[in-house]
Amino acid sequence: DTAVSQTPKYLVTQMGNDKSIKCEQNLGHDTMYWYKQDSKKFLKIMFSYNNKELIINETVPNRFSPKSPDKAHLNLHINSLELGDSAVYFCASSPQTSGGPSSYNEQFFGPGTRLTVL
């Protein structure tokens, strides 16, 4: 019954490696997101994606790339990991991005993936 799930929950890896984090939502939502939450607890949007449009936060390095095999999945691939990439990464989904009642704009978060780069 999990609405938004992510795997793995914890990821420890060496600098320079390539890794992926998977996200799946079973809510039938149109839009999915990736956030990074650093040690200062700021939630920073990295990507938002629906069937029509990928919106990239311009501050995100191109080592990060979202991959969506279908509407229910949005995976995050990271190349050449750096120490500064250590953070908690949250996936989220919402029914739609634009307009409508508040329920359409509410974002549902996955449990997070704690990435530690050594």
**C-alpha to C-alpha distance for 91 and 6, rounded to whole angstroms:** 7
Cβ-based nearer residue to another protein, 41 or 52: 41
Cβ-based nearer residue to another protein, 14 or 39: 39
- By rule CB under 8 A, what string of x and - marks binding of each residue 52-81 to another protein? ---x--------------------------
Query: Does 90 contact another protein by CB under 8 A?
Result: yes
Q: How far is the CB of 75 from another protein (least distance, A)?
A: 18
**C-alpha to C-alpha distance for 18 and 63, rounded to whole angstroms:** 9
Rg (CA), the chain: 14
Q: How far is the CB of 40 from another protein (least distance, A)?
A: 6
DSSP state of 84: G
**C-alpha to C-alpha distance for 15 and 75, rounded to whole angstroms:** 20
